[in-house]
Amino acid sequence: MLDIKYIRDNLDEVEQSLAKKGFEFNADVFSQLDEDRKKALTHAQSLQAEKKKASKQIGQLIGQGMSPEEAKAQVMSGLDADITRAEQEAKQVEASLQELLMGIPNVPLAEVPAGADEDDNVEVLKWGTPREFAFEAKDHVDVGAPLGLNFDAGALVAGSRFAVMSGPIARLHRALAQFMLDTHTLEHGYEETYVPYLVNRQALEGTGQLPKFEEDLFKIPQAQGDKDLYLIPTAEVPVTNLLRETVNDADLPIKKVAHTPCFRSEAGSYGRDTRGMIRQHQFDKVELVQFVKAGDSEKTLEELTGHAEAILQKLELPYRKVILCGGDLGFSAAKTYDLEVWLPGQQKYREISSCSTFGDYQARRMQARWRNPETGKPELLHTLNGSGLAVGRTLVAILENYQQEDGSVIVPDALRPYMAGLELISL
């Protein structure tokens, strides 16, 4: 959530910056609600002050011989009802303003390029050279089907956009997750973290998925009137919400990595990527999350993105790095790098990781803070996260980039220790 004082003091700047995201910020509506809130609070406070004066007058009248009931009736004369109405009005205006603030996306950083959609993203670098095949490269569906990748079975037990993996494909999928976790914990300094796969509404509001993107989530109604829970769309949600507290300066930076399944309804993707594993309702991801001081977030984004890139480089998968334009930037993100891996079956680069900095946007929603030892006061943390990597899409990339003409798939060198030395997956 944006700082309300920042919005007040920079209305034109906020309006222009959010326009880069394609968001129409109505400064007049904000200013009117903000003014209504101030008036309602002032009115309620003035009535409370009147009540204090009235209490003294009641005491004086009682002292002069009037009964307490008569004294109260004479002095209060409907004041309690006025106070109740004023406080309710103030709460309603406050709730309306809060709802407005929760619906305003984060402001993109100045270096985020202008643009409407993914076609306007700006390439930063390319790594690796796409392999030249002596035969016609297949996509991962055709490569994987004989080796244990089964979409018909997924549809049988759950519906479309689900997959079942068996045998060597299932083992390769597990090996990828273990390889990623080991690399990030042993080489990049992250703490492995296990988190719930179900979260409450407050957690999703904290990271910005709610209230705007409820249709993208799987909601699990609870019995006996308990609050509803949601399946996590990414480990970012539970991991980031672990810091709804104030931490000490000595604890920073905090670096966490979690391997979880992720669940998304893909409500806005009808007709897109209906074939294969690119866009599933359930998929695994290894998520990187960092909490840092404000002055460290810019360099940390470069570092975190580099950690995701390291996985691709160790697997020798060609990829490119792009900075997202304003129109393709996520709701809560201030700046994002996408890593796109080369898929020979599609003859294009496809996203395999998004790495973002959120500034203090998420931290303000969660009140995630660190105590500055120089001032002794708490300050908002900056949060960052990124996929390190999406496990299913990495499996797709390996099946397509390491396929052989006879239908077998070479196991990348980096994964062989996790596959008991297996060098080739074949029929």
Our answer to whether residue 279 is catalytic in this structure is yes
From residue 152, alpha-carbon distances to 126, 264, 275, 342, 397 in Å are 36, 20, 11, 26, 21
Binding site for L-serine, residues? 234-236, 287, 387
Q: What is the DSSP string of 115-162?
A: -SSGGG-EEEEEES-PPPPSSPPPPHHHHHGGGTEEHHHHHHHT-TT-
Dihedral sign, CA of 403, 155, 415, 262? positive
CB 325 within 8 A of CB 109: no
Binding site for ATP, residues? 264-266, 351-354
Binding site, residues? 234-236, 264-266, 287, 351-354, 387
- Helical pair 79-102 and 68-76, crossing angle rounded to 10 deg: 50
Q: What are the beta bridge partners of residue 390?
A: 285
Pick the closest to residue 102 from 11, 212, 198, 226 (CA basis): 212
- By CB atoms closer than 10 A (0-12, 13-18, 19+), residue 253 is middle
Q: How many CA atoms lie within 13 A of 180 on its CB side?
A: 31
CB atoms under 10 Å from CB of 60, counted, come to: 11
Output the CA torsion 305→311→315→320 (10° steps): -10
Task: Kindly name the residue from 279, 320, 371, 416 that is annotated as catalytic.
Answer: 279
CB 169 within 8 A of CB 143: no
Our answer to whether residue 77 is catalytic in this structure is no
Task: Kindly name the residue from 161, 354, 365, 400 that is annotated as catalytic.
Answer: 354
Task: Kindly name the residue from 316, 351, 379, 416 that is annotated as catalytic.
Answer: 351
Our answer to whether residue 244 is catalytic in this structure is no
d(CA 81, CA 47): 10
Task: Kindly name the residue from 37, 161, 264, 365 that is annotated as catalytic.
Answer: 264
The single-letter DSSP state of residue 419 is G
Report how far apart the first and last C-alpha atoms of the chain are (Å, whole number).
Answer: 53
Task: Kindly name the residue from 171, 297, 393, 400 that is annotated as catalytic.
Answer: 393
CB 286 within 8 A of CB 310: no
Q: Which tokens belong to 64?
A: 């002069």
d(CA 172, CA 65): 90
User: Which positions are catalytic?
Assistant: 264, 279, 351, 354, 393
